[in-house]
Amino acid sequence: MIIVTLVTLYITLSPHLFCNNFIAHRLADSQQPPTYSGSTMATGQIFSRTTQALFYNYKQLPVQRMLDFDFLCGRETPSVAGIINPGAEGFQKLFFGQEEIAIPVHSSIESACAAHPTADVFINFASFRSAAASSKLALKQPTIRVVAIIAEGVPELDTKELISYARLNNKVVIGPATVGGIQAGAFKIGDTAGTIDNIIQCKLYRPGSVGFVSKSGGMSNEMYNTIARVTDGIYEGIAIGGDVFPGSTLSDHVLRFNNIPQIKMIVVLGELGGRDEYSLVEALKSGKINKPVCAWVSGTCARLFKSEVQFGHAGAKSGGVMESAQAKNKALKDAGAVVPTSYEAFESVIKETFEKLAEGGKITPVKEITPPQIPEDLNSAIKSGKVRAPTHIISTISDDRGEEPCYAGVPMSTIVEKGMGVGDVISLLWFKRSLPRYCTQFIEICVMLCADHGPCVSGAHNTIVTARAGKDLVSSLVSGLLTIGPRFGGAVDDAARYFKDAYDRKLSPYEFVEGMKKKGIRVPGIGHRIKRGDNRDKRVELLQLFARTHFPSTKYMEYAVEVETYTLSKANNLVMNVDGAIGTLFLDLLAGSGMFSKQEIDEIVSIGYLNGLFVLARSIGLIGHTFDQKRLKQPLYRHPWEDVLYTK
């Protein structure tokens, strides 16, 4: 089988300038309510300026285009009443002209229909896998009268069932495989008619006198432009879709157009394959259509091929002679339609037909209006260089805009390929530079040594109690972290700050300690509830040993050791604790590495970097305690009475 793709030519239009002032027009002929009868399908107008739709399976661009069209036409209310996203609820922010609006999002078709009883159009953007089921459910809702199915590839059996149900219940199905339809100046489905520039060029913001129906959505855009050039424009246009079994046929819509007073002439664009056009032939012959019909069936080139040809649409394939474009064009012409000799001549016959109607007084000249200017989206305006806008956040430590995230300019792949560790990542994200290996090793040692200090310290205790109360991981972790402060784990920054000030001012240990005492401030980093001068904290000893082995200088730590010697002379528990060790050694790391200025060191200490190291490390232990309690299935904690002093 030879495959031939028909390429639709889209006309590139230069933008038009419009006045800022716009008087919202009220065109009585486009406000008529939809017309239905007890027959197999709607017999007249199915859209109006008050039509509202429910949009299934949210897609931002088609919905925004519908709202922009509403604004262009001067509608007072948005045409999208609600959005249906299975399993989700809330609101979706979109623009209605200059105003930002919130459109309700519903989790089911039933709830959306109940919330918006006046919305009678269901626009289905579901995939071909679920389009039939969701469309069938929508058709069963008493409020829904029109269903547009955008998806291609819907199984033919499912489509036949939809058609049967719709006709039995006097409802309209447009599609599958359709772009939708439009009533000029009133309502449009999804992406119908393309961009705002194309809509303005085709004068679709106000009603004309021509009813148009086609199988192709792409060719519809072309024909809207053609019709606007040689007539007063479209009143209603429908693309029924290119599947073998469309939900509604060309003749269904032509018969509707014949019953709409505002439509004075009808334009039909068919295609080879199938026999849909012959129902239109029969309607013309039987006198059911009394308005001029200009028609053309595309695909005449199929006769040039020796074998069967499949064109772009599923239904557009050359079969028997009766399904050829030539046979259909001849039948339409014999039945009374105005049929050109070629597609190139189609515009001329449309123009001639319209002019005859105008000369006969059957068409009232349309009053031209100036549509409002659609506000341009900020992102689009920024890209085109029309505006500049301030940013809301500054980030200097990471960037996720490229092919892979970067930490301080170092790609993620480089971090992995070079075997960098947690200390290296901390150095990049916290200090915005790659520190020497001994520095990152020290950071990792601090994290390991401070990860946990047993279940009895306040942070772990809080986390355990919270976890046993049935709270989640984040809640349990945060309850423990909130205890970190001057009395528990939060003295690292203070230790660094006070020891640095004392050393830089060349205070002796005596002057430093006694000066703090006079101020009523305990020396941070000195003192422990358990450890003594003869039973020092092993963590402190390990940190000091590593620093003396690897650091270029340990002047701040050695000063702290001198201070410890003085404080131990006063009390045996006034030993250097892990906060003091980390605080002073970090000062040595920053100063000895030669990678930080004095101003940067002061800023690091004042911002709280060093406490951040304790928070990071202790989070590991607190998470462990949470998992431990969950794993052990421990019950709600209640403090024992005998451990409480009840007193007046």
Rounded to 10 deg, the angle between the 578-592 and 492-504 helix axes is: 60
- Cis peptide preceding 405, ω within 30 of 0: no
Cβ atoms of 239 and 177 closer than 8 Å: no
* DSSP state, residue 644: S
Residue 281's φ and ψ, nearest 5 degrees, are -60, -45
Rounded to 10 deg, the angle between the 422-431 and 437-450 helix axes is: 100
Cβ atoms of 196 and 68 closer than 8 Å: yes
**Those residues with Cβ within 8 angstroms of residue 60's Cβ, 6 or more apart along the chain or in another chain:** 94
The CA-based dihedral angle spanning residues 482, 483, 488, 489, taken in that order and rounded to the nearest 10 degrees: -20
| First-last CA distance in the chain | 98
Which of 427, 418, 432, 450 has the alpha carbon at shortest distance from 589? 427
Residue among 313, 392, 550, 625 flagged as catalytic: 313
Which H/E stretch holds residue 105? Answer: strand 99-106
Three-state SS sequence of 430-490: HHCCCCCHHHHHHHHHHHHHHCCCCCCCHHHHHHHHHHHCCCCHHHHHHHHHCCCECCEEC
Which H/E stretch holds residue 121? Answer: strand 121-124
Cβ atoms of 266 and 254 closer than 8 Å: yes
* DSSP state, residue 130: T
Give CA angle at 439 (436, 441), nearest 5°. 110
501, HSE (Cβ side, Cα atoms, 13 Å) = 14
Token representation of residue 518: 């006079």
Token representation of residue 341: 């000799």
Token representation of residue 443: 């950071």
Q: Is 550 among the catalytic positions? A: no
Q: Cα–Cα distances in Å, from 405 out to 245, 399, 437?
A: 49, 6, 23
The CA-based dihedral angle spanning residues 400, 404, 407, 410, taken in that order and rounded to the nearest 10 degrees: -140
Positions annotated as catalytic residues are 313
